[in-house]
Structure 1
Amino acid sequence: MTGPLSSPAAGDAPRYRGLGSRSAAVLVFGSSAAVLVVEIVALRLLAPYLGLTLETSTMVIGIALTAIALGSWLGGRLADQVDPRRLIGPSLGVSGAVVALTPAVLRSTAEWAPVLLLIVAGLTILVPGALLSAVTPMVTKLRLTSLAETGTVVGRLSGVGTVGAILGTVLTGFVLISRLPVSGILVGLGALLLAGSALVGWRARGWAGTPALTLVVVAGGLATVPAPGGCDAETKYHCARVVADPDRDGGHTLVLDGVRHSYVDVDDPTYLKFTYVRALASVVDTAFPEGEPITAYHLGGGGLTFPRYLAATRPGTRSLVSEIDGGVVRIDRERFGLRPDTGIDVRTEDGRLGLRRLETDSRDLVVGDAFGGVSVPWHLTTVEAMRDVRRVLEEDGLYAANLIDHGDLAFARAEVATLSETFEHVVLVGDPVDIGSDRAAPDGGNLVVLASDRPVDLRETQEALDARQVGWQLATGDDLTSWIGDARPLTDDYAPVDQLLQPYDSRGGR
């Protein structure tokens, strides 16, 4: 059959004319791209409140896919019952209003009604995602006038939508997030969708479609209302804030996605506020002769508290730092006064890739202190990664890593088991409640693990910890083996770091 479709809707073909192939492609391309922009930006917007974990990513992706499926189904059903030209404009307008208001709504909910955050977050992804996904079947209905071209029309618009989704993904990940605040991206996208809604309404019904224009004005005004939870800087990976210490003139805390990542005293780099940093300092000061310069490599930078300490207490020390977030590095330079003459070289790169580029037997010390939220990036926790750490260290070199865990400390036990696969000597440093043989109700928080092919001087290390009033103890040998229990070492093929971690209170800091 090559004539007009015989259904009642298709038989009324003249009322569907007027949507050219170019306009159809623009609508499908733009709406598909917008869905992916919303999905990716939602991950960044939720990170300060839910953490940048595999579970958060899975939830957002699942909701987005649900929205696409629901919108495609409902859009097709409605297009068979109502003139699609009456539906496209409102779909774009309502989705645009929701997108523009999302930053203010989510941040306000997180601040004043956190128990509702998951529901509100789901709706801010589901509603615009479904409405935007409904545009494709509506446009397809308008373009279908003959069964002879069904395959061509459906295939072409499906391909255009896929290309739009790809471009939305690439543009957001490589361009928008690196140049614009997350809230600015969503407000801008919402404004574009609202403008598109007004244009579609005008072409379909003239200026009788003024409700779309009203939505533009209302949503634009509301989207500019300040919302709690703002950032000093929105970097590629974090919502970053620098909080001044009211008790110390030079003291500042670097807060990334709501978690206290670093404390920096710009006037006195030897002042170490966080307990785990004092523990690291105690270990390193014991492992190497006092005041002697060393070569160090740091996986993760943050506020560069420990590299600054080494530079101040061991003149001539060379520290190379791999920090993946260039925005954090800018904060180090602009707010914390990082200078090139301090012996600290910071590279904006992934730590695993940076580790691979280092020469064999080139470092006295490797420090692991890279985090996404409270989770160590999984690819820095595995046996394969630790073998690379061992390769980089000199024969008597030391690896010291900061870990965070709670509950039954499943991740920490797995990571210590992983290090035991690679190094001859492993020592765990932590609160006695957490590293004791009785793990019935550990408090959790920070722990420091040491690994080396040379023995660690346990007595001197404990004395150094006590001198700094750290309040932590050491576990090694049979005690550590008992503490590890049946924990399975992590590998590149099996590293469920996010699943092993237990819930935490992000306000507690690190």
Structure 2
Amino acid sequence: MYIYLLIAFLSGFSLMVVELTASRILAPLLGSSVYTWTAVIGTVLLGMSIGNMLGGILIDRRKSKKTLFIFFVAVFLSTALIPLWARYSGWLSSLDINLIVRIILVSFFIFLLPSVFYGTIYPGLLKFYLEDVENTGRRAGSVSAAWSLGSIIGTFLTGFFFIGFMGSTKTVLLMAAVMFFCALVVDFPRKKTGLVSVAILMPLAFSIIGALSIPKNSEKLVYFGESDYYAIKVADVKSVKGNDLRLLILDFDFHSMESEGEIDTYPHVYPIFSILKREFSDIAVIGGGSNLISKNLADFYSDAKVSTVEIDPEVSRISDIYFKKSSNPVETVISDGRMFFEKNEKKFDLVFVDAYNSFISVPWHLTTLESNELIKGSLSEDGIFAINIISAVSGENSLFFQSVLRTIRKTFPNTYVLHYGHSLEEVQNLVIIGTDSERRISEQEIASGLESLPNGNLISAKILHEIPELSEKSLVLTDDFAPVERLMGPAVKNNFKRHLETYASHF
């Protein structure tokens, strides 16, 4: 009878692994945000509820090991097909509908059916294990405890091992194999034809599903892999101007791009800081990516020590391999940005935050008042704070920018904005600069000082000389309340399809 506890353990283990891996599968399709996590958890709970009901009805109608075997085979097949459904769900993720609805639909399409079949297992196991009516409570508790213990171990192994060492596709296929093993334990085929079928169909099914689940090849793709944090791609493409570009794609976002001919982008804003402060000895960049910002700063401020704080060691490794190095050394620190400043005792002359990790995923904890105050405490006298965000300056897509700016002004009274779009209503890269110096240097003074510096005229053209009045709907973001997904909602809604088309055109 204890074999049912082992099966409950393995089922809970497998379900939790699949559930946690689901968010990684959705990230390259829809980005990683609280919306994707909400959709995944809701989908799994809904599927489990339906499966619990159906499984109970079916096992009551026909209490046999063959019924339980069928439950596990259904779980095996539906789980093994998850990477395949994910690969061919692009049509659904590109529908011109509300983002939240789109995320829910994609989550249902990929994960609802496996969740339903997982749900059938629990009542099936209980039916066989609760034969002793006198000990119903103890036995039901034992099955539940075994299932929960499996879920706990599955949670730890997924986060700390499977994703980082195996990737999402292999992890899901491994869980499918675990469920097939459970099916054989429940009711191993005793007839010769059944054994032959298992011996042939099992490896054949995995070969076909595995082959079809491999990401599409592209001559543009230089590297593809998964880390504990992202699905990482490096690709070579042509820019609109016809220049060769090397892209770093994290999940669903073009995180970094490097080209000899592309200098009209925000990583080349670096000379402006020399107008606001004369001497630089220590500079910190939060968010590494390809390290383009850090490399530009290290080359321009050659006497300064530049430190890049990157949360993902694999991104740092890929950057070193596939992107050009700086002529001056750049130190890399593997850490979360907030945690870095919590422990930091050094004073920096400049802190540049560039930690976006996907188009719809904002590291909200680096946009709050508390974060700004923490960084200010690590700045030298007249030190400079800068942050790159994606938003519009005005119009319906601007609420996130206005909230970030309102929050920064609580800590840094002198603020400047550089915009990298064609119009203020366009969703674009915006660099917000803040200082706490006694004298505010005007935008005109900055433009005048830039005239003799590299790319000075291009940078001057990006300076926003008049910032529109902030909306009453804009917020001061705090650790307690920073609804960045809602603030970014209109921008994502109005630009997601165009972003998806651009992404699809490359891959």
- Is the contact made by 1:106 and 1:117 (CA closer than 8 Å) also made in structure 2? no
Alignment correspondent of 1:332: 319
Q: CA deviation at 1:387?
A: 0.2
Cα offset for 1:376? 2.7
In 2: Cα distance, 1:210 partner to 1:66 partner: 37
Say if 2:391 and 2:400, in contact at 8 Å, map to a contact too.
yes
425-434 or 175-184: which moved more? 425-434
User: TM-score of the superposition, structure 1-length normalised?
Assistant: 0.84
In the TM superposition, residue 191 of structure 1 has moved relative to its aligned partner by: 2.5
Distance 1:470 1:26, change over 3 A: farther
Q: Secondary structure in 1 aligned to 2:377?
A: helix
Counterpart CA distance in 1 for 2:485 and 2:465 is: 25
Question: Cα distance 1:151–1:475, how it changes in 2: closer, same or farther (>3 A)?
Answer: farther
1:319 alignment partner, SS class: strand
State the match for 1:52 in structure 2: 32
CA-CA distance at 1:130 after TM superposition: 2.0
Kindly indicate whether the alpha-carbon contact (under 8 Å) linking 1:97 and 1:215 is maintained by their aligned counterparts in 2: no
Could you say which residue in structure 2 is the equivalent of 1:317?
304
- Decide whether the 8 Å contact of 1:433 with 1:443 is kept in 2: yes
Equivalences for residues 116-265 of structure 1 within 5 A: 119-202=105-188, 208=194, 216-226=202-212, 227-229=214-216, 232-245=224-237, 251-265=245-259
Within 2, Cα distance between the matches of 1:484 and 1:306? 31
Partner of 1:487: 474
Aligned-partner Cα distance in 2 for 1:258–1:99 = 24
Whether the aligned pair in 2 keeps the contact of 1:111 and 1:228 (CA below 8 Å) is no
Runs of 4+ in structure 1 off by over 6 angstroms are: 247-250
The separation in 2 between residues aligned to 1:380 and 1:114, in whole angstroms, is 30
* Contact 1:98/1:128, CA 8 A, preserved across alignment: yes
Aligned: 1:26 with 2:2: no
**Of the two, which has the highest radius of gyration?**
1
Local SS of the residue matching 1:224: helix
What are the superposed Cα offsets for residues 470-505 of structure 1, whole Å, 9 maximum, x if unpaired?
A: 7423246xx45x135441100011011112113134
Cα shift at 1:96: 1.7
> Deviations along 1:426-449, whole A, 9 cap, x unmatched?
2222258765xxxxxx11121111
Query: Is 2:281 the partner of 1:275?
Result: no
Give the 3-state SS of the residue equivalent to 2:397 in structure 1.
Answer: coil
Letter in 2 for 1:145: E
1:33-72 matched pairs, under 5 angstroms = 33-72=13-52
CA contact (8 A) 2:281 2:305 kept: yes
Corresponding residue of 2:348 = 363
Q: How many residues align?
A: 471
Asked if 1:447 corresponds to 2:430, the answer is yes
**1:120 Cα deviation from its structure 2 partner:** 4.9
Inter-partner Cα distance in structure 2 for 1:322 and 1:117: 31
RMSD over equivalenced CA pairs, Å: 2.8
* Residue 453 (structure 2) pairs with residue 467 (structure 1): no
After superposition, the C-alpha distances for 1:107-136 in whole angstroms (9 at most, x for unaligned) are 222169743885453133121222123212
Indicate how the Cα distance of structure 1 residues 432 and 259 shifts in structure 2: closer, same or farther if over 3 A, else same.
Answer: closer
| Residue 95 (structure 1) aligned with residue 75 (structure 2) | yes
Q: CA separation of 1:31/1:105 partners in 2, compared to 1, >3 Å: closer, same or farther?
A: same
Counterpart amino acid of residue 228 in structure 2: K
Distance, in Å, in 1 between the alignment partners of 2:34 and 2:105 is 19
Does residue 86 in structure 1 map to residue 66 in structure 2? yes
Cα distance, 1:201 vs. partner?
A: 3.3
174-183 vs 121-130, which moves further: 121-130
SS of the aligned residue for 1:474 comes to coil
Note closer, same or farther for the CA distance 1:277–1:373 as it changes in structure 2 (3 Å cut).
Answer: same
Q: 1:429 aligns with which of 418, 428, 444?
A: 418
Contact 1:263 1:274 in 2 (8 A): no
Where does residue 99 of structure 2 map in the other structure? none
Match of 1:372? Answer: 357
- Which AA in structure 2 matches 1:45? I
Distance 1:500 1:204 in 2: 60
Instruction: Determine the C-alpha separation between the residues in 2 that align with 1:198 and 1:214.
Output: 15
> Does residue 344 of the first structure (1) align with residue 330 of the second (2)?
yes
1:429 partner amino acid: L
| Alignment correspondent of 1:287 | 276
Gaps of 5+ in 1: 1-19, 436-441
Secondary structure of the corresponding residue to residue 416 of structure 2 = strand
Query: For residue 436 of structure 2, what is the amino acid of its counterpart?
Result: D
Instruction: Name 2:484's counterpart in structure 1.
Output: 497
Q: Aligned partners of 1:344 and 1:488: how far apart in 2?
A: 36
In the TM superposition, residue 28 of structure 1 has moved relative to its aligned partner by 0.7
TM-score, scaled to structure 2: 0.85
Map Cα deviations across residues 309-348 of structure 1 (whole Å, 9 max, x no partner): 1122222321112111111011022222558x94311122
In structure 2, what is the Cα distance between the partners aligned to 1:356 and 1:434?
Answer: 38
Structure 1 residues 196 and 147, CA gap change in structure 2 (3 angstroms):
closer
Shift of the 215–136 alpha-carbon distance from structure 1 to 2, 3 Å rule, reads: farther
**CA deviation string 1:198-254 (max 9, x = no partner):** 443316878647766665244312222244456611111211111125589985211
Name 1:439's counterpart in structure 2. Answer: none
Identity of aligned residues (%): 25
Q: Helix, strand or coil: the match of 2:54?
A: helix
Q: Call closer, same or farther: CA 1:111–1:252 in 2, change over 3 Å.
A: farther
Q: Does structure 2 retain, via aligned residues, the 8 Å contact 1:311–1:317?
A: yes
CA distance in 1, matches of 2:67, 2:13: 19
SS in 2 for 1:232: strand
Deviates more, 1:255-264 or 1:423-432: 423-432
Compared CA separation, residues 390 and 24, structure 1 to 2 (3 A): same
Is the Cα contact below 8 Å between 2:255 and 2:357 reproduced in 1?
no
Distance 1:432 1:43 in 2: 31
Using the alignment, how far apart are the partners of 2:378 and 2:337 within structure 1? 13
Is 1:417 matched with 2:393? no
* Aligned-partner Cα distance in 2 for 1:144–1:364: 68
Following TM superposition, by how much is the alpha carbon of 1:100 offset from its aligned partner in structure 2, in angstroms?
A: 1.9
Q: CA deviation at 1:36?
A: 1.1
